[in-house]
Amino acid sequence: MNRHWMLVFIAAACEIGWVTGLKYADSAWQRALTIAAILLSFALLIRSGKKLPAATAYAVFVGLGTAGTVVTETLFFGVPFSPVKAALIASLLVGIIGLKIVTPPGDGPERRESR
């Protein structure tokens, strides 16, 4: 897997952390971790966007962050999970995987500059 896609996946994991932190952080330490996760997630996304198509990288980032946040809230905070939510998350993940599959490897900014 491309190193830049790995950055997107790590950024999405940080997004799950900060979105969860926005709702559940109770102490100054937890709020500080939430802010750190925000900064790290966007720094990684920006860095990956230098080599990947921005729209595809952002769609993967947001989609994985959304799906991961729903799963995190269900597993750790008792938020109800329904078959409809499962189907919608599955369709979201299918779309993300599809975008990644149809995006040519050299379709980032460096390819456009060489034309």
The pLDDT value recorded for residue 30 is: 97
How much is the pTM? Answer: 0.81
pLDDT tens-digit profile of 6-20?
A: 999 999 999 999 999
The pLDDT value recorded for residue 99 is: 85
Q: CA-CA distance, 64 to 84, in Å (whole number)?
A: 18
Domain layout of the chain by residue ranges:
3-104
Residues 6+ apart with CB under 8 A from 84: none
Tokens of 9: 């996946």
Q: CA-CA distance, 76 to 97, in Å (whole number)?
A: 26
pLDDT tens-digit profile of 49-107?
A: 999 998 889 999 999 999 999 999 999 999 999 999 999 999 998 998 898 888 876 65
Alpha-carbon distances of 103 from 14, 24, 65, 82, 87, rounded to whole Å: 24, 36, 20, 32, 24
The pLDDT value recorded for residue 111 is: 52
Tokens of 28: 């100054």
